[in-house]
Amino acid sequence: MKELNLHTKNRVRLLYIVLTSVFIIFIIRVGYMQLIYQNNIVTFAQMDQNVKELNAPIIEEVKASFDVNLDNYNEVSTEDIINSGKTDVGSLSLLDIVYTSCQDGCYGRPAVYLQKSKGFVFYKNKDGEDTLAEIQREYSRWAISKINKAGSE
């Protein structure tokens, strides 16, 4: 009987510790969220939105430097490329193109416009030159076919 009572006490004590720990974590989480929203601390979503807003005029300036008709092209974000990479591994080669195009540095984020098997990547390199990379889908991968810099077409 004493042994059964001892096991019950131990289980109750363990349950008390677990529930107290969960409650403390919950209180910390709620307090943290209130701190963020009451003090207007910038979140990653807000930073991403700010980057998009700051990037838009840069990309518009770069696109204006080139005579390219983008009517039948879709603008594709990095998130879209990553998501499509779950079903089409070849589309991940676009990420490689985007990241290597800015390997030496660039202003803002590159903008990617695609059709089925051809597309464009617009960016402003670290020297301030407007750059257009023409890309083609070759077999299952994307590759750069030509790079144009503003004024050197």
**Length reported for the chain:** 153
Please give the model's pTM, rounded to 2 decimal places: 0.62
User: By C-alpha distance, which of 110, 100, 102 is closest to 58?
Assistant: 110
User: By C-alpha distance, which of 89, 148, 85 is closest to 120?
Assistant: 148
CB-CB contact of 95 with 109 (8 Å): no
pLDDT in tens, 25-65: 999 888 877 776 666 555 555 656 666 777 778 777 777 78
What is the bridge-based pairing of β-strands 74-76 and 106-114?
A: antiparallel
Which stretches of the chain drop beneath a pLDDT of 70?
1-4, 36-51, 151-153
